[in-house]
Amino acid sequence: MKHLFLTLIAASLTLGALADDKVVNPDSTGFKFTDVKLVKSTPVKDQNKSGTCWCYSSNTFFENEILRKTGKEVHLSEGFVVYHCYLDKAIKNVRMDGTSNFAEGGAGLDVAYVWENYGMVPNEVYTGMTYGDKKFNTAELTAMLQGMVNVVNQRKLKKLTPSWMDAFKGVLDGYMGKLPETFTWEGKTYTPQSYAASLPLNMNDYISITSFTHHPFYKPFVLEVADNWTWEQSQNVPINELWEIANYAIEKGYSIAWGADVSERGFQWRKGYAVLVKEKTEDDLNGTDRARWDQLSDKDRDAQRWEIKGPGNEQTVTQESRQLMFDNKETTDDHGMVIVGTAVDQEGNKYFKVQNSWDTNQLYHGFFYVSEAFFKAKTMNIIVNKEAIPAAIAKKMGLK
């Protein structure tokens, strides 16, 4: 995701949003949330000017799993994961003559892919930042790498030399620093592989789950989004069961890596909520409201169509409407986040509490609340521990 599980907010949306550091007045939102159940989570991160939300969200998810099992906070290296994904993504892109995706974006299970193939390191050992940088800014690096891949794919030679990979690694080393082969951490010497093995996680215990009707339910398939460059599979269940799994996981103390579309007008993360607002039409107006509507400019009328004053006025989501949004490209693979709790608003409507990776300069300091309708319509996939799936659904999926 560009910047979750993918698997992504589009770079322009991400960077534009992050440029505005205004903190919203809570009295102006119209929403009052009460947390019902919270899962312990490691601190909010800031992906800054990078499209690497898929890494930040999945790293946080696995950090939460370590916290759940051991009570210990760790900060896994985003840079270590991103470096390996850039390199392997480039190799695959060249093998496929430039037809596979090469970009900052990725999918939530890319972290598991790196974990299994290359290991892991603490962030304190390898940040992936040089020249005193404190936060990620991968725009220039990505442009450099994209240019190199384009040149290789436009080659006139009949045979490639391995030099391009050495040059590619050289750029990564220059911008991110060389990867550690060994390191000392808390008095012990590790390789990335041995450090990963020392952590209480088995990547086989985690599964991606989605809900679409263009593939059969209770069978895995490769989710057809560009940032799923490793072609990882997701299990397919009806949307009501996806909602049930997510609620069950939180109730049992498990967090959830969440990939979703965040391009909707109701995605108001700075104001602390994401709702699937229903467009107002002229048929909804009468009396003085209709008279005022007729006097508005086109711009103001458009704003009124999507006005959000508080709970209510959300679309009804069905399996069919969800599928249509995906097929029509209204739902796209924008952003990766982490679900860490459940909540209700002042009218008793259900929400998930979500941890973002866009710093803490917002109403809820890096968290916001997503409505049931938004989750059901705009979820691309979730990643959960297999233990966090209700037994009856796990049986249908062939996991029991």
The Cα–Cα gap between 63 and 59 comes to 6
Question: Cβ neighbours of residue 199 under 8 Å, at least 6 residues apart?
Answer: 66, 74, 120
**Is residue 55 a part of any domain in this protein?**
yes
Exposure of 231 by Cβ count < 10 A (0-12 exposed, 13-18 middle, 19+ buried)? exposed
CB contact set of 179 (below 8 Å; sequence gap of 6+) = 80, 83, 84, 126, 192
**At residue 296, does pLDDT exceed 90?**
no
The Cα angle at residue 245 between residues 115 and 38, in degrees rounded to 5: 80
Classify residue 293: in a domain, yes or no.
Answer: no
Kindly report the CA angle at 393 between 388 and 396, in degrees rounded to 5?
135
Torsion sign, CA atoms 104, 3, 182, 178: positive
What digits encode the pLDDT tens for the residues 332-381? 999 999 999 999 999 999 999 999 999 999 999 999 999 999 999 999 99
* Tokens of residue 168, six digits: 């590619």
Mean pLDDT of the residues in the chain: 89
Residue 28 CA to residue 13 CA, distance in Å, equals 23
Task: Output the pLDDT for position 14.
Answer: 36
What pLDDT score was predicted for residue 25? 78
Distance between CA atoms of residues 388 and 249, nearest Å: 5
Q: Which residue has the tokens 């999926």?
A: 397
User: What's residue 306's pLDDT?
Assistant: 63
User: CB count, 10 Å around CB of 80?
Assistant: 28
Binning pLDDT at 50, 70 and 90, where does residue 400 land? confident
Q: Is the pLDDT of residue 3 over 70?
A: no
pLDDT in tens, 300-331: 556 566 678 899 889 999 999 999 999 999 99
Domain membership flag for residue 286: no
CB 239 within 8 A of CB 319: yes
Closest residue by Cα to residue 84 from 111, 62, 61, 56:
111
pLDDT at residue 134 is higher than 90: no
Q: State the number of CA atoms in the 13 A half-sphere of 320 facing the CB.
A: 0
Query: In this structure, is residue 308 part of a structural domain?
Result: no
Residues recorded for the chain: 400
Distance from C-alpha of 20 to C-alpha of 209, rounded to nearest angstrom: 33
Q: Is the pLDDT of residue 10 over 50?
A: no
pLDDT score at 281 = 60
- SS3 readout for the chain: CCCCCCCCCCHHHHHHHHHCCCCCCHHHCCCCCEEEEECCCCCCCECCECCCHHHHHHHHHHHHHHHHHHCCCCCECHHHHHHHHHHHHHHHHHHCCCCCCCCCCCCCCHHHHHHHHHCCCECCCCCCCCCCCCCCECHHHHHHHHHHHHHHHCCCCCCCCCHHHHHHHHHHHHHHCCCCCCEEECCEEECHHHHHHHCCCCHHHEEEEECCCCCCCCCEEECCCCCCCCCCEEEECCHHHHHHHHHHHHHCCCCEEEEECCCCCCEEHHHCEECCECCCCHHHCCHHHHHHHHHCCHHHHHHHHCCCCCCCCECCCCHHHHHHHHHCCCCCCCEEEEEEEEEECCCCCEEEEEECCECCCCCECCEEEEEHHHHHHHEEEEEEEHHHCCHHHHHHCCCC
Tell me which amino acid residue 216 is. Answer: P
What is the model's pLDDT at position 303? 58
Split into its structural domains, the chain has a count of 1
Name the residue among 399, 388, 357, 319 with its Cα closest to residue 6.
357
Confidence of residue 293 (pLDDT cuts 50, 70, 90): low
pLDDT at 287 over 70: no
Output the pTM of the full model.
0.90
Q: Which amino acid is at 339?
A: I
Domain of 174, in residue numbers: 11-278+314-396
Distance, CA of 303 to CA of 299 (rounded, Å): 6
CATH number, residue 385: 3.90.70.10
Over residues 183-196, the mean pLDDT reads: 98
Structure token digits, residue 118: 């290359």
